[in-house]
Chain A
């Protein structure tokens, strides 16, 4: 089974802090994604990566950056955390280039910014 892990289940940070959220997948997937999930807004794509060192903006990239130095690891970075970034963050991965891609999700990180 594909396993996607995230570094923390719960995280509390202060406004202005730099925050790193880590995601690791063990199935050699090319694609990795970061979403945030908010009540009433559903899941929204922040960034995705289709290969090592390659990244593309999703729908709401402002205030975030990402890093993918190794195929299995995709990091989401909040350069200067703000209270409006309090959310559930979900990482996902998928195989490359098929028309029936299934995304495999990690358990999520619930981030609170005070």
Chain B
């Protein structure tokens, strides 16, 4: 299976601390994406990193990618209560006719304690 695996499965930290989540995958990728899911809701795209990039920033988010280790990490700095959610990494491969399949890991459940 190409499915990514997130680590840890659950993470609980205090507001203001940094949160780091890791993702490992099994096969070569074009891109890796991170999504957030608030409880009982749909997923929201956070950031995409291409296979030829090593690091990318977006606001308080920092993503790294190590294709030699087939792993990625998502760092959320200065966490807030609103960051409480599940975070998923997704790797891609192409289906027919240009559609792109995303294969999701099982997610890290992040809880920010006030």
Closest Cβ neighbor of A102 among chain B residues = B45
Known: A50-B95, A108-B40. A41 touches B106 (CB 8 A): yes
A42: B residues at CB distance < 8 A: 3, 88, 104-107
The answer to whether A43 and B42 touch across the interface, beta carbons within 8 angstroms, is no
Nearest A residue to B45 via CB reads A102
Residues of B in contact (CB 8 Å), total 27
For the complex formed, measure the closest distance between the CB of B92 and the CB atoms of chain A, giving whole angstroms.
7
A-B contact count (CB 8 A): 70
Query: In the complex the two chains form, is B99's CB within 8 Å of A106's CB?
Result: no
Interface membership of B96, Cβ < 8 A: yes
Asked if A45 and B101 sit within 8 Å, CB to CB, the answer is yes
- B33 CB within 8 Å of chain A: yes
Structural contact, B98 and A50, CB atoms closer than 8 A: yes
Interface flags, A26-65, vs B, CB<8A=1, else 0: 0000110000000011110100101100101010000000
A90 on the B face (CB < 8 A): yes
Chain A residues 68-98 with CB under 8 Å of chain B are 88, 90, 92, 94, 96-98
For the complex of A and B, list the 5 residue pairs with the smallest distance between their C-beta atoms, beginning with the closest.
Answer: A97-B98, A105-B42, A42-B106, A50-B97, A43-B104
Chain A to chain B contacts (Cβ below 8 Å), 21 pairs:
A42-B3, A42-B105, A42-B107, A43-B104, A45-B101, A48-B101, A50-B98, A50-B99, A51-B97, A54-B97, A90-B43, A92-B43, A94-B100, A96-B99, A100-B31, A100-B50, A101-B92, A103-B45, A105-B44, A108-B41, A108-B42
Which A residues contact B (CB, under 8 angstroms)? Answer: 4, 30-31, 40-43, 45, 48, 50-51, 54, 56, 58, 88, 90, 92, 94, 96-108, 110
